[in-house]
Structure 1
Amino acid sequence: MGPQKLVRESIAEQIYAIIKEEILLARRKPGEQLNPRKLAEEFESSVMPVRDALKQLVDEGLVVRKPRVGFFVRSFTPREVREIMEVRKLYELYCLESYFDCIDKDRLRFLLERCLSRDWPAVKNPEFDRLDDDIHDLIVSASGNTFLIESYNNIKDRIFLIRHLGESQARRANEEHVLLIQAILDGDKERAKEILQAHIDRVTCEVSL
């Protein structure tokens, strides 16, 4: 990667944002070492803001720091993947069960149109990732519970990172999203819960093998 030009006020925040995006989009792989000096050269900065950025990513669970060794992109054991996805399922199924009638149907129809608007490639891309997030976020946001939503958002980066560990079956995920949205629009709560649970379980199996 060539040098990145930094133009905003906080250099550390810019470096943090760039590295975080690279991790979430799997441009930096799980287990990859993040050398502060090399990164400082890439960003044409001093080492201190790079270290500050890496420490922030450590706090968010996307980077780990090994004493006397250095910083590494977070990798997940199969057990950790299952545990994180179990928590995800708890949030989303709870909100679907408890706030089913509060889900914004107009927004759902718009998301359904996006799902059906194109022949999605087999491999996920940033546009599909945004659509994926919008669908699942809409279910959780239906709760209107600020603390629940904030708590869910605290694990979203890990969910996003885990999603990119598997085979990235965008077409299959899109088909499942279509079925989920149609079940909600039809008012079939039990069917929607079955589809959502099967969807999350499939992703969990895909990435924890």
Structure 2
Amino acid sequence: MKLVKDSISEQIYSIIKEEILLAKRKPGEQINPRKLADEFETSVMPIRDALNQLANEGLVIRKPRVGFFVRSFTPKEAKDLMEVRKLYELYCLEKYFDKIDRKKLSDYLDRSLEKIDISYKDREFDELDENIHDLIVKASNNSWLINGYNSIKNYIVVLKHLDTGQVQAAQREHISLINAILDGDKEKAMKILEEHIQRVTEELMMSLISQ
């Protein structure tokens, strides 16, 4: 793959990050800089720069004298992360329910209905999924909350792609969640979101334990 000369490392960074987020590169998989250099028709230097950037974000692990590996998660790490996610999202949904952007939510509902039979491998649905949850947190207009949530978002996406067995269930839950918010039913929305995150967590645990 030939890249343009401007910001080669940034382009490589974006490509590899996308592959990790979509589980095209599996957790624990070693990344060979020389092989990537051949693939991108460039030197090893921009490859290492890109991998170091991903390591700084926690998506890649650097092992001295061994190499670079895609970040993997133990069942406990994944469970702890999902617990933090639940704290952020449920708090923001309850505290800032009336401030959630209904216009954007209606748009997300229309797009969700269009994507009802699409898998997590579809990046458009992937982004739609993220946008729905982001909108709840962004309703806080609290930079500390938003930045804290953003710091775990990449990990949430990686974990989500470890198990795609209940994709349509997730889509239906998103649609139910949006409808509850649009109807002004906070209690129902809270219940749907909590059950959604709990189901995802349980399936994720089963997937990780069976590996």
TM-score where L is the length of structure 1: 0.93
Which of 114, 130, 135 is equivalent to 2:132?
135
Aligned twin of 1:116: 113
Correspondent of 2:52 among 44, 50, 55: 55
Is the CA contact (8 Å cut-off) linking 1:32 and 1:72 kept in structure 2? yes
**1:74 paired to 2:74:** no
The aligned residue for residue 163 of structure 1 is 160
In the alignment, the residues of structure 2 paired with residue 130 and residue 14 of structure 1 have an alpha-carbon distance, to the nearest angstrom, of 20
Contact 1:122–1:168 at 8 Å: present in 2 too?
A: no
Provide the rounded CA distance (Å) in 2 between the counterparts of 1:200 and 1:58: 27
The aligned counterpart of 2:20 is: 23
Q: Tell me the secondary structure at the aligned position of residue 62 of structure 2.
A: strand
The 5-angstrom pairing of residues 81-92 of structure 1 reads: 81-92=78-89
Instruction: Find the residue that maps to 1:65 and give its secondary structure.
Output: strand
Counterpart AA for 1:90: L
Residue deviations 1:45-74 (CA, integer Å, cap 9, x gap): 111111111111111111111222111111
1:106 aligns with 2:103: yes
- What is the distance in 1 between the residues matched to 2:47 and 2:138? 34
Q: Deviations over 1:146-204 (max 9, x none)?
A: 22212211111111111000134221111101111111112111111111011011111
The CA deviation at 1:108 is: 1.3
The two structures have a TM-score, normalised by structure 2, of 0.92
Instruction: Please say if 1:148 is aligned against 2:176.
Output: no
Instruction: Could you tell me which runs of 5 or more consecutive residues in structure 2 were left unpaired when the two chains were aligned.
Output: 207-211
Aligned AA (1:116): L
> Residue 37 of structure 1 corresponds to which residue in structure 2?
34
**Distance between the aligned counterparts of 2:130 and 2:164, measured in 1?**
18
- Aligned-residue Cα RMSD (Å) equals 1.4
- How many angstroms apart in 2 are the aligned matches of 1:75 and 1:50? 21
Task: Say if 2:187 is the partner of 1:190.
Answer: yes
**Structure 1 residues 8, 193: CA separation in 2 closer, same or farther (over 3 Å shift)?**
farther
**1:175 aligned onto 2:156:** no
Distance in 2 of aligned mates of 1:119 and 1:191: 21
In the other structure, the counterpart of 1:64 is 61
Comparing 81-90 with 113-122, greater Cα deviation is found at: 113-122
| Deviation digits for residues 60-89 of structure 1 (CA, Å, limit 9, x no counterpart) | 111111222111111111111111111111
Per the alignment, do residues 14 and 149 of structure 1 end up closer, same or farther by CA in structure 2, a change over 3 Å counting?
same
Choose which of 2, 5, 8 in structure 2 pairs with 1:5.
2
- Identity level (%): 64
SS in 2 for 1:12: helix
Task: Give deviations 1:69-123, integer Å, cap 9, x for gaps.
Answer: 1111111111111111111111111110110000111211111112223542355
Moved over 4 A (4+): none
Alignment gaps of 5+ in structure 1: none
